[in-house]
Structure 1
């Protein structure tokens, strides 16, 4: 199912990869890195705890015949998560980044092979040290209404989730709430109702909140037996949500009935990231930390099936994403030969071996 096309050394440990979803730029993607530098590796002016975590944001484009073209790289604080806005907003292609200094940043890609930082804010405006761990945009549904306010949800290492509005390139705090006793590893919007926000934490709790009630919790369960690390709303099936955990179990949920999941599938290795495919939203791409990258067929929601695995990475599987290039665009980028199946270009990255891989995935028809 996987065919590796190219490998890239990211220098620092790689933990995040995200393909641009905007028409005309779907062959672009970013990769983020995070490195805890040893004291002897720091410059004299940066030898304090808040500046030991450094990173790089790489901007790539896939060019024929399936080669990576590095367009830009920016030295930043350690990157914990990145997400593109699913649509252009106010005429801009925007990338949200959360980092090791506790900041939420907005970067703009102008189609000129460069990423430009347009604004940033310390999450919750708190003075103490913490990491901003994950983010999600409210724009994920394919039929998203452009007149709707755009929001970003952020989780952090103090267990808080925070919501920001994005207006004219500025970030404004809407609400913030203590959600978990330990790290809030993940937060995600319900793309069908962006008033609802989900979170998962190292306290094994899976919670959901309503921004109309001041971001107060409106539900919670403790079915996960270890930290909850990944959540992704399905943009085509209104009531379907996927969750992943250190407990190695992929759970599919019907958001109308959250007491018990629809199904539980053991993926092994601890699940760090889950991504629905951008075509029919029937396959999940999973980064399974200590057990490689996997493709899961979820067309039968009560019995998901592992149908593919990439096992060429030699360290913790952290970042994965599919491009949303159509079949004919994929064919223009890579040499496939005779292939009648659905194909997708994907990127994966792993941590301590600081490796990024570009691959092609062959799916069913």
Structure 2
């Protein structure tokens, strides 16, 4: 399957809902960000611009190439980033030695929540409704202004802490164009700010949780620095700062299937994978042909990662261990074993991809017992200047 749909606005983020509307049919949201010079404005070297946008809810199917836009959620605010959150009925805390318990999770599949970050410095949450006799829709729950709209500060990115351990509430981290980072708590009907701190000298393009230890937050900015923060400590200074980047740090993603690993993207076109036990040097560095704006690990395959590489299009990389097992000599004290990884491109999509900004994996469909082969993986990407959303599949 390979399908492209044209969009009226310029898209910059796309996310699949983790809950399917029906078998082999997927729901997702796409956020749009478009700048236009203000009307009735005299010509100048630095004209004021309006940042307009919207968020659409779409459906797509694996069985045919049907793609439909179900509803327009917002037409006033430009959306820079978004995340889905599925509240669970029971609040749980990540245990140190009983991780397997969390394979059994209690959730309300009818109440996924979408949180968007916009160009007016705000976060907005929407509840997904799936009426039996009508199209899916998003109903607004709550808006929170991280900054007054008149200050022209943008919410650049956001992340939610529940990728590994699902709870009835979750932590949210968002980065602002004034260099600040904000930590919040998401409740069923509200979002509450907990902490705010000055993280970077220039725009912090990205932020993310360590999904295995959500008290750890990573941020990256246009100052070419990757910073690690511990929410249990003071926010005056980071736990660690890595300055090895040749361009701004633009994307961060904790590996939800493999502890300690983080993928980090930069304008310098290199994908770096770090082991959090040693942030000095990456365990892998791979040139990807374009600035890396979005990183998504496969939901079930720990060796695959999806990238939106701006002018380099979309890529799926296979990340393999060079030496998966390193045993110590008998009698020697064992030391932490850091993986050594290599990457190979197993899929790419660059046709009509002018500035690839957003990308995501669709939720995996469980194969039936009698099925002779697993279902293919559905991938979506959105490219900015050609105003297009692309869908394709991988075996």
- Name the counterpart of 1:345: 378
Question: 1:116 matched to which residue of 2?
Answer: 139
Q: Does 1:191 align with 2:189?
A: no
Maintained 8 Å contact 1:175/1:214: no
Aligned to 2:329: none
What CA distance in whole angstroms lies between the structure 2 residues aligned with 1:320 and 1:15?
9
Structure 2 runs not aligned, ≥5 long: 42-46, 90-107, 322-339
Match of 2:155 in 1: 132
Residue 32 (structure 1) aligns with = 31
Alignment of 1:1-365 (within 5 A): 3-4=1-2, 6-22=3-19, 27-40=26-39, 49=48, 52-63=50-61, 64-74=63-73, 75-85=75-85, 87-89=86-88, 91=108, 92-112=111-131, 113-124=136-147, 128-141=151-164, 144-146=165-167, 149-216=169-236, 217-300=238-321, 302-326=341-365, 328=367, 340=373, 343-362=376-395
Return the alpha-carbon distance in structure 2 between the equivalents of residues 234 and 296 of structure 1.
14
User: Secondary structure at the residue paired with 1:118?
Assistant: strand
Asked if 2 retains the 8 angstrom alpha-carbon contact of 1:57 and 1:76, the reply is no
Between 54-63 and 28-37, the greater mean CA deviation after superposition: 54-63
Q: Is the 8 A contact 2:21 2:27 kept in 1?
A: no
- 1:127 CA drift (Å): 5.9
Contact 2:122 2:147 in 1 (8 A): no
TM-score by length of 1: 0.88
Q: How many residues align?
A: 341
RMSD (Å) for aligned C-alpha atoms: 2.3
Q: Using CA pairs under 8 Å that are at least 6 residues apart, name the structure with larger relative contact order, 1 or 2.
A: 1
Q: Provide the rounded CA distance (Å) in 2 between the counterparts of 1:41 and 1:127.
A: 19
Which structure 1 segments of 5+ residues have no match? 43-47, 333-338
- Does the aligned pair in 2 maintain the 1:230–1:244 contact within 8 Å? yes
Asked if 2 retains the 8 angstrom alpha-carbon contact of 1:153 and 1:162, the reply is yes
Measure the CA separation in 1 of the matches of 2:263 and 2:15.
Answer: 18
The 1:215–1:125 alpha-carbon spacing in structure 2 relative to 1, beyond 3 Å, is: farther
SS at match of 1:37: strand
Bigger mean CA deviation after superposition, 123-132 or 197-206? 123-132
Helix, strand or coil at the partner of 1:76 = coil
Q: CA deviation at 1:69?
A: 2.1
- Residue 305 of structure 1 deviates from its aligned partner by 1.2
Residues 314 and 356, structure 2, Cα contact 8 Å, conserved in 1: yes
* SS state at 1:12 partner: coil
Answer with 1 or 2: which has the greater Rg: 2
